[in-house]
A and B are shown apart, each in its own frame.
Chain A
Amino acid sequence: MHDFLASIGYNSWVLPALLLIPVAGALILVVQGALAKDDGGLAAAPAARWIAFITFVVEFVVSAGLWWSFDPGTSAWQARVTLEWIQPWGARFDVGIDGISLFMILLTTFLMPLSVLGSWTSVRVKVRSYYELMLILTTGMLGVFMALDLLFFYVMWELMLVPMYFIIGVWGGERRVYASIKFFIYTFLGSLLMLVAILYLWLHAQNVVTHQSSFGYDYLMQHAVIGSREALWLFAAFFVAFAVKVPMFPLHTWLPDAHTEAPTAGSVILAGIMLKMGTYGFLRFALPLFPDASMTSWVRSIILGLAVIGIIYGALVSMVQPDFKRLVAYSSVSHLGFVMLGIFALTLQSVQGALMVMINHGISTGALFLLIGMLYERRHTRLLSAYGGIARVVPMFAVLLTLVSLSSIGLPGTNGFVGEFLVLIGAFKSEPIFAFIATLGVILAACYLLWAIQRILYTPLDKPENEHVPDLNRRELGIMGALAIVILWIGIYPAPVLHRMERSANNLVQQVQAGAGQRTASAAMGAR
């Protein structure tokens, strides 16, 4: 496989291709719409779905090669492609991956075809536009995960905001307009501050003689001259942008609304992929660019504190939700708290664990949202109290919901266990108190999810309208089967995944510690 990929020069074109394939798919849809002369509604649905689905499958197949072509023995950028973009400003089209972004990209390309399948029949108005937006959204998300130029990164970061805004606002539930504007404003405000910070970095990385600067990631790391006070402010700007996206307590309030109101595929993408952009931003930008600011002890304590509060708070709020979708939405706050804990505990295990949680949360929560969508299509309610005992009516659904819930709880043998376990043992080394409190979150997760599936699946079947719910059809079984395979595979044999991310995670930890250490050393020198 490796030789075959090398023979077609895979690494030299794969990343731009991944960005262009969805755009091409969207253009095909536009052209098809212009030729078809329909109103883009239900009549357009079959063609639009298939075009989108095939595009995403092609995208997944193309990206799958990364698994083999990726060299786990180095932490350097791989598959890098650099082109001039806006020369006077030193902005480039610059993409590349390491062991961190590799899995985010694979996660994205894996979940996208499944979410198209998941919204196969539920989207009934303006179908073509819906899939066009999904395709454009994919380009934005992949661009975020592979950008190595901060201006390009910012543009991609905003690129994904508009399609998601429309997906929530046009195809969402009852309070969709409110949810979509809230989502937009939170993200937009956060990212504007980041924009100013990027600009500031760029200005302070100017060459003294030529006044040339660059937005290149490596360039800014080496050349940006900033004092420790400014670094704190800049870190704060990046922090707000990413923390909104994660979302960290107390900036999380957009999440329950957006996730609940979004259509199924929107929720899957939001929870599965877009939340990871926040934590990815911390790993890729906030920590390495400002190691001393982010590792200042009080800053770190605050962030770890917020992460742990998020874990417990998210779990407790989940427990009392009457709406299943809202319950899962709040559980994301809890899970992402683990990721933040892992990142800021900053040991090799905890960072690897954080990455694993990012992947696992994408798969498990994505799967949960898909299952909720399937249930909703049948009964048009998401209230837990409307169900009861349906395990007897829909056995396949029951099996899969149980499996996915267990993986979300983190049962050994499923993917969820690996990530949270690594985060906790990693964090115990450097932050025992925070890690101890976080452990409670695992127990609480078991409480709210097991209680929820009990109320849906296993209590007596006492409502007549639940007696004739059809079980999953083949399309839905296909979606869930793919997810179940990944859940079990990572749960039982995570070594290939961990192996591929090890070097990059290790490199990140050392880089940040060295950066923070340098500062402490120079401070000590100054004191002397």
Chain B
Amino acid sequence: MVFDLSQAPQLAAALAPDLLLMGGAMLLLLVAVWRAESVATARSIGVLSIALCVATAAVIVWMMTRGATATPEIIAVDDFRWVTDLIVLVGTIIALALAMDYARDESLPAAEMFVLILLASAGMMLLAAARDLIMVFLGIELMSIAVYVLAGLNRRSSRSAEAALKYFLLGAFSTGFLLYGIALIYGATGSTDLGVIGAAITSQSVLTSPMLLIGIGLLIVGFGFKVSAVPFHMWAPDVYEGAPTPISAYMAAAVKAAAFAAFFRIWREAFPSAGLAWHLPLWWLAMVTMVGGNLIALAQKNVKRMLAYSSIAHAGYLLVAVVASNEAGTAAFLFYLLSYTLATMGAFAVVMVVGTPGERHQEIADFAGLWQVRPWLASCMAVFMLALLGFPVFGGMGFFAKWYVVGAALNSVSPQTHLAVALVITSAISAGYYLAVVIAMFMRPRADNAPVPRRMGTPTALVIGLAAVALLVFGIVPGRLVDVASHSMPDIHHVKPAGPPMSALTSR
């Protein structure tokens, strides 16, 4: 089916999953406000939220199988969007499940937590769909504002408050950069529509215009903040450490995934010509992020901070896929996102279990001898660590994810051999900190006074178990996923503008 997006009903139909999620979230908010605040209410809202996500995913799968497409307008209807949506929803469901147990164990009867997660996810889905810079901005704001609140949700913790404030201030800053970048790009090309921009910059005068270059630079800075690429990463460790663990997991995985997806689409559609001036900064961004993230992670003692730096390093690996800027790069990017989401969120879940209650015991030393008291938990954590390291079989699909990115980088029009080699070498460095956790868990004795982690709730247990199993299974038979990923390309429409007005939104 082909949606004609200039017609409001068809636009609404093309946005059906997003609208379903937003509407459902509003409804749940009303229910939450209506009921007395209690842990039981929060839990039932959590269950309903997960059900809502599953329903949204079902709609997405249905539209995907129908092969829906659309006319080039403010949103895209293509497999790239759907697959990103599904990955975001996987992350959302994990975050919701973890939040259910977190709310119970920390006795934090905050039903609004689930609603905020849902709203943030709606923003992420908008980001995945946007093919207009204004829509990108809307998506980013919807996502970020909800996440600012989520970071500070643990009202009793001063670190949580600090995290929220820090995230908010720096986030606001980065939004400013982003918006200014969008304005300059609009000034240079006369449009915010990605396809129109892509067509406009083929002319020499636009291509070399300083306004465009500065605009793109600011755009990179804005996104660099959101995906926490070095040197725009300073906020990430503090915020991840202070925020409630389920929210840290959510930020490290889903927020990053969505921001990257939008960035990816912009890059592929609006600024496609690889090897041009703006690819050099991106190249360096990838390089510095990989090296910086991995080196600083080596020095971390706190697992949450270590995971924060690890997520920075992975942003670097994903940037390699962006720089490769080819079809293999897109497929590798999606494949990588799923693997990374499962592994990172699984690892955060284990951290949550070990640190409960009160978010203590998050040093690597606190994991010593975990194998002796919780063998399955330790084994799953080992799988997550090896997956992040990119190790075959025991790290499951983590290996194929890195492999895919390296392959895409080498297979690019201008082969990115140096980036590929840097990726491999920095991955080897990352063994230093991922294995530190494994060594602690399996090879060090348990301290005498170390508390045995509490029994985890069913949702957390399911999250950890299923994530590990999924990683392992897809690590042995990745064929089907590779197939899906390699067919999920963003539709690219480079239309020569017939003269202003160029798109529905700018003409308004």
- Interface positions of A (Cβ within 8 A of B): 40, 84-89, 126, 129, 154-155, 158-159, 162, 166, 169-170, 176-177, 180-181, 184-185, 188-189, 192-193, 195-196, 199-200, 202-203
B443 in contact with A180 (CB, 8 Å): yes
The docked-state distance in angstroms from the alpha carbon of A202 to that of B386 is: 25
The docked-state distance in angstroms from the alpha carbon of A177 to that of B371 is: 15
B375 in contact with A169 (CB, 8 Å): no
Tell me which of A87, A177, A202 contacts B443 (CB under 8 A). A177
CB contacts under 8 Å to A, within B360-398, are 371, 375, 386, 391-394
Tell me which of B407, B443, B483 contacts A176 (CB under 8 A). B443
A195 in contact with B424 (CB, 8 Å): yes
Measured CB to CB, the nearest residue on chain A to B483 is A88
**Complex interface: chain B residues within 8 A of A129 (CB):** 375
**Complex interface: chain B residues within 8 A of A86 (CB):** 400, 478-479, 482
Measured CB to CB, the nearest residue on chain B to A84 is B479
4 cross-chain pairs, A with B, having the tightest CB-CB distances, nearest first = A155-B392, A169-B443, A86-B479, A158-B392
A200 in contact with B410 (CB, 8 Å): yes
How many whole Å from A395's CB to the nearest CB in chain B?
40
- Can you spell out 15 A-B residue pairs with CB atoms less than 8 angstroms apart? A84-B479, A86-B400, A86-B479, A87-B483, A89-B482, A155-B393, A158-B391, A162-B386, A170-B442, A177-B444, A181-B435, A181-B439, A184-B431, A192-B425, A203-B410
**Complex interface: chain B residues within 8 A of A87 (CB):** 479, 483
B435 in contact with A184 (CB, 8 Å): yes
Measured CB to CB, the nearest residue on chain A to B411 is A203
The docked-state distance in angstroms from the alpha carbon of A159 to that of B475 is: 12
**Complex interface: chain A residues within 8 A of B38 (CB):** none
The docked-state distance in angstroms from the alpha carbon of A177 to that of B392 is: 22
A199 in contact with B482 (CB, 8 Å): no
The docked-state distance in angstroms from the alpha carbon of A199 to that of B394 is: 21
B479 in contact with A189 (CB, 8 Å): no
B25: Cβ under 8 A from any A Cβ: no
B479 in contact with A199 (CB, 8 Å): no
B427 in contact with A192 (CB, 8 Å): yes
The docked-state distance in angstroms from the alpha carbon of A341 to that of B394 is: 35
**Complex interface: chain B residues within 8 A of A159 (CB):** 392-394
- Interface positions of B (Cβ within 8 A of A): 371, 375, 386, 391-394, 399-400, 403, 406-407, 410-411, 420-421, 424-425, 427-428, 431, 435, 439, 442-444, 477-479, 482-483, 486
Which of B386, B392, B479 has the largest number of chain A CB atoms within 10 A? Answer: B392
Number of A-B contacts (CB under 8 A): 73
The docked-state distance in angstroms from the alpha carbon of A185 to that of B430 is: 11
The docked-state distance in angstroms from the alpha carbon of A91 to that of B482 is: 12
Given A85-B479, A166-B442, A176-B443, decide whether A196 and B424 contact each other with a Cβ distance below 8 A.
Answer: yes
**Complex interface: chain B residues within 8 A of A40 (CB):** 375
Known: A85-B479, A86-B478, A199-B406. 19 other contacts (CB 8 A): A86-B400, A88-B486, A158-B393, A162-B391, A162-B393, A169-B439, A169-B443, A170-B442, A177-B443, A181-B435, A181-B439, A184-B435, A185-B431, A195-B406, A196-B406, A196-B420, A199-B403, A199-B410, A203-B411
**Complex interface: chain B residues within 8 A of A199 (CB):** 403, 406-407, 410
The docked-state distance in angstroms from the alpha carbon of A86 to that of B386 is: 21
The docked-state distance in angstroms from the alpha carbon of A129 to that of B379 is: 11
Measured CB to CB, the nearest residue on chain B to A169 is B443
Tell me which of A176, A184, A185, A196 contacts B421 (CB under 8 A). A196
Measured CB to CB, the nearest residue on chain B to A154 is B392
The docked-state distance in angstroms from the alpha carbon of A400 to that of B183 is: 84
Given A159-B392, A159-B393, A196-B421, decide whether A188 and B443 contact each other with a Cβ distance below 8 A.
Answer: no
How many whole Å from A154's CB to the nearest CB in chain B?
7
**Complex interface: chain B residues within 8 A of A154 (CB):** 392
How many whole Å from B389's CB to the nearest CB in chain A?
9
**Complex interface: chain B residues within 8 A of A195 (CB):** 403, 406, 424
Measured CB to CB, the nearest residue on chain B to A160 is B393
Measured CB to CB, the nearest residue on chain B to A159 is B393
A188 in contact with B428 (CB, 8 Å): yes
Given A40-B375, A196-B424, A199-B407, decide whether A170 and B443 contact each other with a Cβ distance below 8 A.
Answer: yes
Given A162-B386, A185-B431, decide whether A203 and B407 contact each other with a Cβ distance below 8 A.
Answer: yes
**Complex interface: chain A residues within 8 A of B478 (CB):** 86
A177 in contact with B439 (CB, 8 Å): yes
Which of B371, B394, B420, B443 has the largest number of chain A CB atoms within 10 A? Answer: B443
**Complex interface: chain B residues within 8 A of A184 (CB):** 431, 435
The docked-state distance in angstroms from the alpha carbon of A445 to that of B252 is: 57
**Complex interface: chain B residues within 8 A of A196 (CB):** 406, 420-421, 424
Q: State the main secondary structure of chain A at its contact with B.
A: helix
The docked-state distance in angstroms from the alpha carbon of A148 to that of B63 is: 41
Measured CB to CB, the nearest residue on chain A to B424 is A192
Measured CB to CB, the nearest residue on chain A to B432 is A185
B443 in contact with A192 (CB, 8 Å): no
The docked-state distance in angstroms from the alpha carbon of A84 to that of B482 is: 14
B431 in contact with A188 (CB, 8 Å): yes
Measured CB to CB, the nearest residue on chain A to B376 is A34
The docked-state distance in angstroms from the alpha carbon of A84 to that of B483 is: 14
**Complex interface: chain A residues within 8 A of B479 (CB):** 84-88
**Complex interface: chain B residues within 8 A of A203 (CB):** 407, 410-411
Tell me which of A89, A162, A177 contacts B394 (CB under 8 A). A162
The docked-state distance in angstroms from the alpha carbon of A155 to that of B399 is: 9
The docked-state distance in angstroms from the alpha carbon of A88 to that of B392 is: 18
The docked-state distance in angstroms from the alpha carbon of A40 to that of B371 is: 11
Measured CB to CB, the nearest residue on chain A to B373 is A39
How many whole Å from A39's CB to the nearest CB in chain B?
8
How many whole Å from B34's CB to the nearest CB in chain A?
45
Measured CB to CB, the nearest residue on chain A to B482 is A88
The docked-state distance in angstroms from the alpha carbon of A162 to that of B444 is: 17
**Complex interface: chain B residues within 8 A of A88 (CB):** 479, 482-483, 486
How many whole Å from A183's CB to the nearest CB in chain B?
12
How many whole Å from B486's CB to the nearest CB in chain A?
6
B442 in contact with A169 (CB, 8 Å): yes
Measured CB to CB, the nearest residue on chain B to A206 is B411
The docked-state distance in angstroms from the alpha carbon of A126 to that of B428 is: 29
A189 in contact with B428 (CB, 8 Å): yes
**Complex interface: chain B residues within 8 A of A192 (CB):** 424-425, 427-428
**Complex interface: chain A residues within 8 A of B486 (CB):** 88
The docked-state distance in angstroms from the alpha carbon of A185 to that of B400 is: 20
The docked-state distance in angstroms from the alpha carbon of A193 to that of B424 is: 8
How many whole Å from A257's CB to the nearest CB in chain B?
15
The docked-state distance in angstroms from the alpha carbon of A241 to that of B478 is: 25
Measured CB to CB, the nearest residue on chain A to B479 is A86
**Complex interface: chain B residues within 8 A of A180 (CB):** 443
Measured CB to CB, the nearest residue on chain B to A125 is B372
**Complex interface: chain B residues within 8 A of A181 (CB):** 435, 439
The docked-state distance in angstroms from the alpha carbon of A155 to that of B391 is: 9
**Complex interface: chain A residues within 8 A of B392 (CB):** 154-155, 158-159
**Complex interface: chain A residues within 8 A of B391 (CB):** 158, 162
**Complex interface: chain A residues within 8 A of B431 (CB):** 184-185, 188
The docked-state distance in angstroms from the alpha carbon of A184 to that of B425 is: 15
How many whole Å from A363's CB to the nearest CB in chain B?
29
How many whole Å from A215's CB to the nearest CB in chain B?
11
The docked-state distance in angstroms from the alpha carbon of A185 to that of B486 is: 33
**Complex interface: chain B residues within 8 A of A85 (CB):** 477, 479
Measured CB to CB, the nearest residue on chain B to A180 is B443
The docked-state distance in angstroms from the alpha carbon of A268 to that of B492 is: 59
How many whole Å from A67's CB to the nearest CB in chain B?
30
How many whole Å from A393's CB to the nearest CB in chain B?
36
Measured CB to CB, the nearest residue on chain B to A91 is B479
**Complex interface: chain A residues within 8 A of B439 (CB):** 169, 177, 181
Measured CB to CB, the nearest residue on chain B to A193 is B424
How many whole Å from A31's CB to the nearest CB in chain B?
14
The docked-state distance in angstroms from the alpha carbon of A217 to that of B244 is: 50
The docked-state distance in angstroms from the alpha carbon of A249 to that of B199 is: 59
The docked-state distance in angstroms from the alpha carbon of A199 to that of B444 is: 37
**Complex interface: chain B residues within 8 A of A89 (CB):** 482
Which of A188, A189, A192 has the largest number of chain B CB atoms within 10 A? Answer: A192
The docked-state distance in angstroms from the alpha carbon of A176 to that of B444 is: 10
**Complex interface: chain B residues within 8 A of A126 (CB):** 371
